[in-house]
């Protein structure tokens, strides 16, 4: 297992042999090309994809249709829209969107938490959730007043 502060934060001292829900969705060739061209931290308006941007007529509406995350920045808020596509959550190193497990880690779900149902529903469950560690902090604060 990775010996990083985040791994210990998310999993304590558990050593998992299987990582569930780490399956990426299919991306069409055009989106894979867009993902590969975009530099980290850029969106649909970046000139590197102007020639293949399918929504260029509606740039004012879809400027964030595609967004490549930055490896050294906090992630955008995870939303249940990921059940439709992960174009707003492009992996910073790979030409793909985040997997459900990667999105779940951002939401501070431990790696042994398993999401059930269809893959699109995994994304919806993750995006609709209050981050686990935030829910714990809120619950702890409320409990201290009871």
Q: What is the pLDDT of residue 9?
A: 82
pTM score, two decimals? 0.88
Task: Tell me if residue 58 falls in helix, strand or coil.
Answer: helix
Q: What is the pLDDT of residue 7?
A: 82
Locate the domains of the chain by residue range: 5-143
Q: What is the pLDDT of residue 59?
A: 66
Give the model's confidence band at 1: pLDDT under 50 very low, under 70 low, under 90 confident, else very high: low
The second-level CATH assignment, the architecture, of 5-143 is Alpha-Beta Complex (3.90)
**Token pair recorded at residue 123:** 């994304």
Q: What is the pLDDT of residue 46?
A: 93
Q: What is the pLDDT of residue 15?
A: 79
CB 91 within 8 A of CB 66: no
Distance, in Å, from the CA atom of 52 to the CA atom of 56, rounded to the nearest integer, reads 9
Q: What is the pLDDT of residue 128?
A: 96
Q: What is the per-residue pLDDT across 8-64, written as a single tens digit (0 to 9) for each?
A: 888 887 878 888 999 999 999 999 999 999 999 999 899 999 999 887 667 677 667
Task: Tell me if residue 97 falls in helix, strand or coil.
Answer: strand
Q: What is the per-residue pLDDT across 66-125, written as a single tens digit (0 to 9) for each?
A: 999 999 999 999 999 999 999 999 999 999 999 999 999 999 999 999 999 999 999 999
- Which of 16, 3, 19 is CA-nearest to residue 102? 19
């Amino acid at each position: 297992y990775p010996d990083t502060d985040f791994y210990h934060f998310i999993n304590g001292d558990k050593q998992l042999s299987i990582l569930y829900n780490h399956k990426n969705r299919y991306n069409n060739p055009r989106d894979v090309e867009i993902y590969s061209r975009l530099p980290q931290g850029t969106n649909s308006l970046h000139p590197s994809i102007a020639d293949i941007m399918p929504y260029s007529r509606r740039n004012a509406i879809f400027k964030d249709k595609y967004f490549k995350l930055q490896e050294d920045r906090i992630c955008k808020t995870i939303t249940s829209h990921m059940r439709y596509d992960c174009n707003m959550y492009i992996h910073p190193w790979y030409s793909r969107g985040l997997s459900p497990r990667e999105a779940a880690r951002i939401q501070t779900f431990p790696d042994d938490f398993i999401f059930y149902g269809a893959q699109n529903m995994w994304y919806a469950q993750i995006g609709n959730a209050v981050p686990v560690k935030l829910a714990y902090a809120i619950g702890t604060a409320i409990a201290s007043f009871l």
